[in-house]
């Protein structure tokens, strides 16, 4: 099939700045003439023509509404991921696009800044004329010939490669044994995202889980009308099945439950009537990886977390003498460390966990990691009469050994952007006088430790020396507690303020409290210090995780 290429003139469109994880907007915004074309061409321009010419580029995504149109329309054969991750999908919801680099990881800021600059000056883009639509639902190769020669478009099933990779990392036999034990029970909720396709292949076909253990595992363009974000608020069905819902279902919950977001990179881990915070999850995986996961049998190169993630991982790193890094929010910051062989396991409070097997967080990997740890801890218990070591047992033992980081996050979604900015400016201004802050803190609650320092987080990448500023406002307390305020970089409308609250408890006899009770003094301080209600007009957060 021979086709011609013509040059289409265009003009810049406002607001095409990639956020924490690519460009995310409502579908109707993406459907505007030239919107997607401008962004894709600006990306090609940022990568430079030499790099793009003759390249093999991959296009994939979470299958949300508008994905098919975007693949055809962009004519890309490249590292583009069509997803708005955990944001809802459908004609009136969100679409997104991000570019990933040769190493498989999200483009660094140096590239996304260039993309944005290009979107402000773009004048034209080349486009193929009369190119037949490629049927992306059928596996196979289509060959084309353009003005610069021949090229192929290959539609392939990424699940094949993924299953192979997982089998080289984990001991599938031991997980299969766990899943087939009558003492164990399992449930997986893909929230109608792309994880459903993988879940069937891996959990049912490879590991022998029952079909009935899969919830919402048929991928849908609009995620069944849901909000595909695996947390206690949005993964309602799983939460109820695991016995964490408001009303008792009367059915004994499974021993293990997990959920994924739209593009399957996030994960939530639950035990029976028990929630594992993402910050604890990465710390527990790091603490147990070497014995439980064959891929790590020779040891961990290092571990890393994002700044707002609790310091549970820090304590494990210290105790196991591992290299440790604290990076800004955004998975791209882990990639450099991994490429340089400095980090094996990393995680974020935002339900992302992963390792250096790829350069993105990996929701299914996280579930397999937990199943491996459970299989390992239950080596002796599956056959005999002994009691199963549960998710809750593992977490409580971890707290008893390393101490517990009580942790919660308050999100104020779709707040007026100007007001959100004012709140942040107010918090930065307060930081100029710590004695003044402490006077206010003591006035609000006398039972809270003093603030020892406060700043805006800044990161110098140890590999390439690049500096990222204004990565969140921190208030650090003398007892290790922290308050962090950040504006989300992944929303598509207004601003989302995130407030992260953390308190460290070393005393093993005090690690079993209710989290909201332990954190209530700090919550009080955070809300009053920031004048949250005054600035946002909100008396309560949209979501608490
Ligand atoms: C995406 C990124 C994560 C990041 C998260 C937080 O999921 O891949 O690395 O932690 O967004 O985004 P936020 O909305 O807090 O900027
Ligand atoms: Zn995601």
- The DSSP code sequence of 400-465 is HHH-EEEEEEEEEEEE-HHHHHHHHHHHHHHTT-HHHHHHHHHHH-TTSPPEEEEEE--EE-TTT-
What mean pLDDT is reported for the chain?
91
Summarised one tens digit per residue, pLDDT across range 171-207 is 999 999 999 999 999 999 999 999 999 999 999 999 9
- 465-472 contacts: CB < 8 A, separation 24 or more? 466/108, 466/109, 466/110, 468/109, 468/328, 468/333, 471/307, 471/328, 471/329, 472/307, 472/308, 472/328, 472/329
Helix then strand count (H, E) for the chain reads 18, 25
Q: Which atom of ligand 1 is nearest to the CA of 486?
A: 15
Q: How confident is the model at residue 70 (pLDDT cuts 50, 70, 90)?
A: low
Residue 101 has a pLDDT of 83
Any ligand 1 atom below 6 A from CB of 545: no
Residue linked to tokens 């994905």: 67
Any ligand 1 atom below 6 A from CB of 411: no
Question: Which value, in Å, is the radius of gyration of the alpha carbons in the chain?
Answer: 24
Q: Is the model's pLDDT at 446 over the cut of 80?
A: yes
ipTM of the prediction: 0.96
Residue 492 has a pLDDT of 66
If you average pLDDT over residues 319-333, what whole number do you get?
Answer: 95
Specify whether the CB–CB gap between 274 and 391 falls below 8 A: yes
Residues 6+ apart with CB under 8 A from 23: 16, 17, 39, 96, 97, 98
Determine how β-strand 482-487 pairs with β-strand 473-477: antiparallel
Q: How confident is the model at residue 77 (pLDDT cuts 50, 70, 90)?
A: very low
Residue nearest to atom 13 of ligand 1 (CA): 488
**Sign of the Cα pseudo-torsion (72, 73, 77, 79, in order):** negative
Residue 478 has a pLDDT of 92
- Tell me which of 221-225, 242-246, 492-496 is least confident: 492-496
- Ligand 1 mutation target, pool 262, 265, 330, 543, most atoms within 8 A of CB: 330
Q: Is 85 a residue of the active site?
A: yes
Specify whether the CB–CB gap between 264 and 194 falls below 8 A: yes
Burial 19-45 (b: 16+ CB within 10 A, else e): bbbbbbbbbebbbeebbbbbbbbbbbb
Inter-CA distances, 327 with 83, 192, 303, 446, Å: 24, 31, 11, 32
Residue 74 has a pLDDT of 44
In the chain, the domains with their CATH numbers are: 5-156 (3.40.120.10), 159-402 (3.40.120.10), 404-544 (3.30.310.50)
Q: Higher pLDDT residue, 151 or 413?
A: 413
If you average pLDDT over residues 385-409, what whole number do you get?
Answer: 96
**Residues in the 5 Å CB sphere of ion ligand 2:** 85, 261, 263, 265-266
Inter-CA distances, 221 with 89, 134, 217, Å: 7, 19, 13
Specify whether the CB–CB gap between 285 and 348 falls below 8 A: no
**Which candidate, 470, 487, 488, 494, places its Cα nearest to that of 423?**
487
Q: Is the model's pLDDT at 126 over the cut of 70?
A: yes
Strand partners, 10: none
Q: Higher pLDDT residue, 57 or 537?
A: 537
Inter-CA distances, 271 with 242, 255, 392, Å: 7, 6, 6
DSSP, residue by residue, 189-246: E-TTSTHHHHHIIIIIIIT---GGGEES-S--TTGGGS----STTT-HHHHHHTT-SS
Ligand 2 centroid–CA 129 distance in Å is 34
Catalytic residue (one of 74, 85, 213, 344): 85
């Amino acid at each position: 099939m021979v086709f011609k290429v013509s040059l289409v003139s265009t003009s810049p469109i406002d607001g095409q700045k990639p956020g924490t994880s690519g460009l995310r907007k409502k579908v109707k915004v993406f459907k505007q003439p030239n919107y997607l074309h401008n962004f894709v061409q600006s990306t090609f321009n940022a990568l430079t023509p030499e790099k793009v010419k003759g390249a093999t580029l991959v296009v994939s995504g979470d299958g949300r509404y508008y994905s098919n149109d975007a693949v055809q329309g962009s004519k890309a054969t490249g590292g583009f991921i069509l997803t708005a991750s955990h944001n809802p999908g459908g004609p009136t919801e969100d679409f997104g696009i991000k570019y990933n680099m040769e190493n498989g990881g999200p483009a660094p800021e140096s590239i996304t800044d260039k993309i944005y600059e290009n979107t402000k000056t773009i004048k034209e883009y080349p486009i193929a004329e009369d190119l037949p639509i490629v049927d992306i639902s059928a596996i196979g190769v289509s060959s084309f010939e353009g003005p610069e020669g021949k090229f192929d478009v290959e539609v392939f099933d990424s699940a094949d490669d993924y299953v192979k990779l997982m089998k080289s990392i984990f001991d599938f036999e031991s997980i299969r044994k766990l899943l087939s034990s009558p003492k164990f029970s399992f449930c997986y909720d893909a929230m109608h995202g792309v994880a459903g396709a993988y879940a069937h292949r891996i959990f049912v076909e490879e590991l022998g889980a029952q079909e009935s253990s899969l919830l919402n595992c048929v991928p849908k363009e609009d995620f069944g009308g849901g909000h595909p974000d695996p947390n206690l608020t949005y993964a309602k069905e799983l939460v109820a099945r695991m016995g964490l819902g408001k009303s008792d279902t009367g059915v004994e919950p499974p021993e293990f439950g997990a959920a994924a977001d739209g593009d399957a990179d996030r994960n939530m881990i639950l035990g029976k009537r028990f929630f594992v915070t993402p910050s604890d999850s990465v710390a527990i995986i790091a603490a147990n990886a070497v014995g439980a996961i064959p891929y790590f049998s020779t040891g961990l190169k290092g571990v890393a977390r994002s700044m707002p993630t609790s310091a549970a991982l820090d304590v494990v790193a210290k105790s196991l003498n591992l290299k440790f890094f604290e990076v800004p929010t955004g998975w791209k910051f882990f990639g450099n460390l991994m490429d340089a062989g400095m980090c094996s396991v990393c995680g974020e409070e935002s339900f992302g966990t992963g390792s250096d097997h790829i350069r993105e967080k990996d929701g299914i990997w996280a579930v397999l990691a937990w199943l491996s740890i459970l299989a390992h801890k239950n080596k002796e218990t599956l056959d005999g009469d002994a009691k199963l070591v549960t998710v809750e047992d593992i977490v409580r033992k971890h707290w008893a050994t390393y101490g517990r980081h009580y942790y919660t996050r308050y999100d104020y979604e779709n707040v007026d952007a100007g007001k959100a900015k004012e709140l942040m400016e107010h918090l930065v201004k307060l930081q100029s006088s710590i004695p003044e802050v402490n006077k206010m803190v003591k006035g609000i609650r006398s039972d809270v430790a003093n603030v020892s320092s406060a700043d805006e987080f800044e990161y110098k990448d140890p590999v390439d020396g690049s500096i990222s500023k204004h990565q969140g406002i921190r208030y650090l307390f003398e007892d290790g507690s922290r308050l962090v305020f950040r504006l989300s970089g992944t929303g598509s409308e207004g601003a989302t303020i995130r407030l992260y609250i953390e308190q460290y408890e070393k005393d093993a006899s005090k690690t079993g409290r209710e989290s909201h009770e332990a954190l209530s003094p700090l919550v009080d301080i955070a809300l009053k210090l920031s004048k949250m209600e005054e600035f946002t007009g909100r008396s309560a957060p949209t979501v608490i995780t």
